[in-house]
């Protein structure tokens, strides 16, 4: 299920990042990357477990959803009447906290569109990068894409599905951004972004290939070889396999002492 578009970010992405001072925007902010936190202009707001799950579900759904579907998704193991009662209780706790965050258009439930959701922002930035759109500042985009996996200590199916989809999207975006920075001559930024991609998923070879190419572009053969050797050892230790021929092809000229083919290397 695709997340709905959030407040779009390009030059203004920095003020929307997790950790940005609340005074920079009057909009409520819902943090779902790594852990749950609701931040209002006056500070963080504590909510009941049911209220937190309701807000997270509506944020990830992105569209107005029937009460029955919300109740069943959040409380699938109880009978319908009790699930509906749990839903009413969760909505009451949200209102009691003084936050008018849930709307009911046509009797359906929807998160207020003014709420800034970090997971939506991360998805929008990732999609923009993969579409070739210009992203400024790139440092803020990288920070948002590496803010953590979605609700890491939540295990409901409706969370895990979104978590894996967003994780893959963010990894592809980090690699694409690193490649774009490298191709534009911003090698230091490409290395930093490549390191972020590797840290996010250490066993992902495509991230290591981008990073090796960036080191080679700086003529840092020793760094490129060291990165390759780290990955080779990790891959063999964890999975009992070796890097692909694409990564080997980038390293082979260093070992042979011949000319390097950085631009022609596989991405």
The model's pLDDT over 104-140, given as tens digits with 9 standing for 90+, comes to 988 899 999 999 999 999 999 999 999 999 887 888 8
d(CA 100, CA 82): 24
Domain region containing 230: 122-256
d(CA 139, CA 200): 16
Please count the other Cβ atoms lying within 10 Å of the Cβ belonging to residue 32: 28
CB 179 within 8 A of CB 217: no
Mean pLDDT throughout 133-154?
89
Mean pLDDT throughout 34-38?
94
Residues in the chain: 267
225 and 158 inside one domain: yes
Whose structure tokens read 């840290």? 199
DSSP SS3 for 263: coil
Which value, to the nearest 10 degrees, does the dihedral of the CA atoms of residues 207, 209, 211, 213 take? -150
Confidence bin at 256 (pLDDT 50/70/90): confident
CB 176 within 8 A of CB 59: no
206 and 225 inside one domain: yes
130 and 215 inside one domain: yes
Residue 5 domain-assigned? no
CA dist 64 → 90, 98, 105, 115 (Å): 17, 22, 7, 14
The per-residue b/e assignment along 59-72, b for 16 or more CB within 10 angstroms, e otherwise, is bbbbeebebeebbe
Q: Give the best-scoring range by mean pLDDT among 40-49, 223-232, 256-265.
A: 223-232
140 and 247 inside one domain: yes
Question: Residue 97's pLDDT is what?
Answer: 80
Contacts of 70 (CB under 8 A, 6+ apart): 54, 57, 58, 87, 109
Question: Residue 205's pLDDT is what?
Answer: 97
DSSP SS3 for 181: helix
What's the predicted TM-score (pTM) here?
0.81
Nearest to 114 by CA among 30, 225, 175: 30
- Which two tokens mark 265? 């290397």
Domain harbouring 227, CATH code:
1.25.40.10
Domain harbouring 107, CATH code:
1.10.10.10
Mean pLDDT throughout 173-178?
96
29: β partners? 39, 116
DSSP SS3 for 117: strand
């Amino acid at each position: 299920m695709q997340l709905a578009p959030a407040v779009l970010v390009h030059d203004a992405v920095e003020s929307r990042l997790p950790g940005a001072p609340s005074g920079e925007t009057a909009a409520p902010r819902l943090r779902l990357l790594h852990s749950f936190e609701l931040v209002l202009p006056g500070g963080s707001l504590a909510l009941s477990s049911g209220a937190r799950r309701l807000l997270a579900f509506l944020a990830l759904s992105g569209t107005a959803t029937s009460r029955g579907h919300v109740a069943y998704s959040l409380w699938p193991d109880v009978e319908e009447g009790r699930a509906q009662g749990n839903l009413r209780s969760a909505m009451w706790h949200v209102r009691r906290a003084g936050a008018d965050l849930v709307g009911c258009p046509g009797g359906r439930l929807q998160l207020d569109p003014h709420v800034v959701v970090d997971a939506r922002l991360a998805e929008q930035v990732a999609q923009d990068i993969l579409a070739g759109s210009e992203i400024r500042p790139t440092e803020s985009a990288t920070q948002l894409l590496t803010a953590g996996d979605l609700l890491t200590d939540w295990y409901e199916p409706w969370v895990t599905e979104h978590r894996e989809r967003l994780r893959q999207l963010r990894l592809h975006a980090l690699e694409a951004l690193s490649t774009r920075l490298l191709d534009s001559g911003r090698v230091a930024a490409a290395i930093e972004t490549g390191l972020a991609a590797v840290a996010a998923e250490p066993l992902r070879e495509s991230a290591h290939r981008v990073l090796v190419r960036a080191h080679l572009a700086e003529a840092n053969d020793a760094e490129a070889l060291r990165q390759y050797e780290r990955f080779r050892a990790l891959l063999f230790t964890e999975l009992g396999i070796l890097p692909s021929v694409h990564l080997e092809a980038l390293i082979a000229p260093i070992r042979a002492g011949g000319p390097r083919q950085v631009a022609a290397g596989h991405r």
